[in-house]
Amino acid sequence: MKITEVKTFVMRGVERNWLFVKVETNEGIHGWGEASLEFTTLTVQTAVEEMAGHLIGQDPTRIEHLWQTMFRHGFWRGGVVLNSAISGLDQALWDITGKAYGVPVYKLLGGACRDRIRLYAHGGWQTVEPLKELGFTGMKTGPDAENVRKAREIGGEEFALMVDNHGMSTPHEAHRRILDLESYDLLFFEEPCPPDNPDVLAPLAAARYRTPLATGERLFTRWGFRRVLENQWVSIIQPDICHAGGISEGRRIAAMAETYYVEVAPHNPYGPISTAACVHLCAAIPNFAILEYVYSNEPWRTEAQVEPLVVRDGHAELPTAPGLGVDLDEDVLRSRPYEPIPFGHRYADDGSVADI
């Protein structure tokens, strides 16, 4: 079996554009991947199309060989654009390989460690009850203390609360925010500080809060996670399977984390292929914690899938079909073409640039 063509599709979801990658073969088996990236969708699309030159004519089941080729033979390595392109193509190769051998991807990864995948959604205190009615057992929200207090009061002790700080604070500001939220028994406090210098997590880790720290959505490949894990600065890492290097690299990052007893809660705010890829990875790693799921992406998440991934009672069921278990309706993808998304801007009171 040989790869004959790589195609890309950009579909406007609800909050974002989704970038899907389709890899076709001479035996009629195709695979889907996702490389969605806010604000630079078309840049990643071009990177995928350029990187396809490494794959045409190759055996798609040589996943590791092709991953190494894409990562190392472009000479210039790293960064979110190139790693997102690799990630989408890698997912598609796993999809093809699962179909070729007639098994779900998680079986290729060693088999399922669990029977279903726990999901969390997003919202404020007003959405806690609706989410609980849908079966969700956890929610991620912003760092406003009053919002968190109300969410805990409504959700009760058994409802998991997570706070996303979005890397917007200095270490001192993050310290104060975490202390303000200590009494609400958070599952984790995400991205306390900007991702550029992970060493600033050291004093926060040394503070030994009751609240576990999490980071990683803007770290790429195992090399990006190395210092965070070796120094044991966080309790939970959040690799994004669309940016960190795909399923292949996600599995390696999870194995690194396991040696430090760090759990994995993948970042997953994108479309249906990202979610499917995450479900397979999460099924096969022992140190999985919980998976992000944007339920508000409906109806287009479901409409884009020929047979949608089954989500029931706040959990994703493990697919039984070969590969990723999800196929996309290309007519639906084309019916929702790319739309530019305004850049997010945030400024301090004096007009200077602040982190978003």
Give the residue numbers annotated as catalytic, written as ranges: 166, 267
Q: Which two tokens stand for residue 283?
A: 């099924």
Residues 222 and 210: their CA atoms lie apart, in Å, by 27
First to last CA, the chain: 45
**Which residue shows structure tokens 């975490």?**
178
Q: Which two tokens stand for residue 207?
A: 């503070």
CA 256 to the chain's CA centroid: 17
Q: Which of the 8 DSSP states describes residue 295?
A: G
Q: Helix crossing, 80-101 with 272-284: angle to 10°?
A: 70
- Residue 44: CB atoms within 10 A of its CB come to 26
Cβ-count burial 202-216 (b if 16+ within 10 Å, e if not): eebbeeebebbbbbb
